[in-house]
Amino acid sequence: YTDLITRYNLNSKLGTFLSRPNPSDGDLTLSKKNDKAISTIEGGHKRSIRSLAWKPNTKNESVIATASFDSTTGIWHREEHERAPGNKENSAVLDSEGKEEEEEWRFAVVLDGHDSEVKSVAWSAGGSFLATCSRDKSVWIWEEMEGDNYETIAVLQDHSQDVKMVVWHPEDELLASASYDDTIRLYKEDVDDWVCCAVLTGHTSTVWSISFENAGSASRLASASDDQTARVWKRKSRIAAMKPVVQQPSIIKQAEDETEDWEEECCLPKVHSRTIYSIDWSKNTGLIATAGGDGLIIVYQEIKIDNLQPQFGSSSPEWKIVAQIPAAHGVHEINSVAWCPKWDNEGLKTKEEVLLSAGDDGVVNVFEFETDSS
Amino acid sequence: LHDPFAPSPGGDSAYSSGASDQDDDEDESAAEDIDEQEIYDLISSISDPEHPLSLGELAVINLPHIHVTHGTPTPSNPHPMSHVLVEITPTINHCSLATVIGLGVRVRLEQALPTRFRIDVKIREGTHQSTDQVNKQLNDKERVAAACENETLMGVLSNMLATCK
């Protein structure tokens, strides 16, 4: 890997990052290239913006949802014009003096409801649902109605402490949340109600970050915690999951398809020596990246073993470390890592990816990672 | 709720004198290797939120309960972290202000120490009934950041830290 490429355009559908906690304002800067912001979202929030999410599948506009410590979630719109693919400056218009003219982000909707700091926000794969979570221990699901209206369709209060992060399954309408109560919970719709369908226990401290694999319905979930471990969880196969049901006392509600059985598959190699704040499972390459308070970025790759004979016990998958970036933000802590498509000189998305990181230094770094696909 | 073990109110004079002088060594010159004594000097002069005494005078902060370690720079990591662990001893084991005191210590250290420092503030084992709960909260970066945006709390903290300057 090398440091910092400049051909990268952040106006792609980027994951979440942490805006630096800043008591004086709730501004947010979207940056492109090194040290250069393409636009700044100002106003709207009264306190720090904790995280954001780009809405998928939008047409002729970009939509961002922002989660703020002011206990609201904001929805922002910006019109996007058709651009020639060869136009490198495809996110800014040059005015007559050759200066980049910022396009306006419009603060369209304020979602009110949480009692305290909103920590994370996530759009479902199709973009029709929005999930938010808060220090008030709840997870809310919102559905977009016509004309910038959002309706609360679920308030899930299963966690016993702050909820740190929410993410949607890449395909299914399955939501996951990570909490200060050391657990991860999964939710899905059961007839008309959203219910908690699984609890993943194993971490011994706050779960800060979770990320789904991109493998259809078989997608696993990766998690990162204050206990300095990162783990991979998988859905138990139907047959395995049925077994314990037989022994369950009848008072325990075992509705048709309402529960899911998840188990820890493995722990990623332990390297971090401080809290791991962020984990991202590449939807493209299958690599996992973690980063945290120790300033380290670690990239893991699964060791694919051929000729596995699954009938002989559980051959737990193994992961190896393929990259370590110490002091990726100098002496600062790293709050977020996210994989993103790399854009070429023509302004076209390539199949390669770059890794973005955001640190306490207020900087977003871009790392290019070279791997032989053998 | 007052602490029955607090020194008798005769200590009024100690209150006004004790806090002010001890803390002149904030200059950057000795930035090389910050040691336990320096950390002690930074935080022992913080005022208790309830008593007219400093955390050092109340033995909430004690020199033997401060631990500092420095990483060694290597070619692959020229920016090693330094680490400070401060264990605080609440005056009573159900002190409701333990979290506020801990937050004061953390904020003071975050403001005074170079960014390479990782700070852990903990309640000393066995000195408080909800040690684990308080510790988890004190070392949750997000909660601390949110607390620092709370004006009421910051008012209390700035009073506590006023005696440090």
Q: CA–CA separation, B110 vs B103, rounded Å?
A: 10
Chain B, residues 88-117, CB within 8 A of chain A, namely 114-116
Per-residue pLDDT tens over the stretch A22-61:
333 345 655 544 445 667 777 888 888 898 899 988 888 8
Nearest to B81 among A23, A47, A294 (CB): A294
Q: Which of B111, B141, B143, B150 to mutate to test the interface with A (most CBs of A within 10 A)?
A: B141
For position A333, what pLDDT does the model report?
A: 93
CB contact burial A35-67 (16+ within 10 A = b; e otherwise): eeebbebeebbebbbbbbbbbeebeeebbbbbb
With beta carbons under 8 A apart, name residues in chain A contacting B113: none
Q: What CATH number should be reported for the domain holding residue B39?
A: 3.30.300.130
Q: Is the confidence at residue A372, as pLDDT, over 70?
A: no
Does residue B20 sit within a domain? no
C-alpha pair distances (Å), A368 with each of A32, A47, A49, A192, A225: 15, 33, 27, 45, 25
Q: CA–CA separation, A204 vs A182, rounded Å?
A: 6
For position B75, what pLDDT does the model report?
A: 83
Per-residue pLDDT tens over the stretch B56-105:
999 999 999 999 999 888 887 777 899 999 999 998 877 778 999 999 99
Q: What CATH number should be reported for the domain holding residue A145?
A: 2.130.10.10
Supply the DSSP symbol for B12. H
Interface predicted TM-score of the whole assembly (ipTM), two decimals: 0.78
Q: Which of B34, B142, B158 to mutate to test the interface with A (most CBs of A within 10 A)?
A: B142
Q: CA–CA separation, A325 vs A329, rounded Å?
A: 9
Among B68, B145, B83, B153, CA closest to A335: B145
Does residue A178 sit within a domain? yes
Q: Which of A114, A331, A336 to mutate to test the interface with B (most CBs of B within 10 A)?
A: A331
Chain A residues within 8 Å of chain B (Cβ atoms): 21, 23, 47-48, 50, 69, 117, 119, 135, 162, 164, 180, 205-206, 226, 274-275, 277, 293-295, 326-327, 330-333, 360
Higher pLDDT, B160 or A311: B160
Using the Cβ of B29 and the Cβ atoms of chain A, whether some distance falls under 8 Å is answered with: no
For position A206, what pLDDT does the model report?
A: 97
Split into its structural domains, chain A has a count of 1
Confidence band of A279 (pLDDT split at 50, 70, 90): very high
* A337: containing domain: 2-368
**Does B145 contact A48 at a Cβ distance shorter than 8 Å?**
yes
If you compute the radius of gyration of chain B from its CA atoms, what whole number of angstroms results?
16
Would the pTM of this model clear 0.95, i.e. be above it? no
Does residue A373 sit within a domain? no
Q: Is the confidence at residue A12, as pLDDT, over 80?
A: no
Does residue B44 sit within a domain? yes
**Does A23 contact B149 at a Cβ distance shorter than 8 Å?**
yes
* B86: containing domain: 32-164
With beta carbons under 8 A apart, name residues in chain A contacting B148: 21, 23
**Does B142 contact A50 at a Cβ distance shorter than 8 Å?**
yes
Does residue B58 sit within a domain? yes
Using the Cβ of B149 and the Cβ atoms of chain A, whether some distance falls under 8 Å is answered with: yes
Does residue B25 sit within a domain? no
With beta carbons under 8 A apart, name residues in chain B contacting A164: 142
Answer positive or negative: Cα dihedral of A288, A294, A296, A301.
negative
A206: tokens are 């706050």
Nearest to B140 among A180, A295, A331 (CB): A180
- C-beta contacts of A37-41 below 8 A and 24+ residues apart: A38/A10, A38/A11, A38/A91, A38/A92, A38/A100, A38/A102, A39/A78, A39/A91, A39/A92, A39/A102, A39/A103, A39/A105, A40/A102, A41/A66, A41/A76, A41/A105
Per-residue pLDDT tens over the stretch A154-212:
999 999 999 999 999 999 999 999 999 999 999 999 888 999 999 999 999 999 999 99
Split into its structural domains, chain B has a count of 1
Does residue B24 sit within a domain? no
Q: Are A105 and A35 in contact (CB under 8 A)?
A: no
Q: How near does any CA of chain B get to the CA of A70, in Å? A: 10
Q: Chains A and B: how many Cβ contacts under 8 Å?
A: 51
Confidence band of A97 (pLDDT split at 50, 70, 90): very low
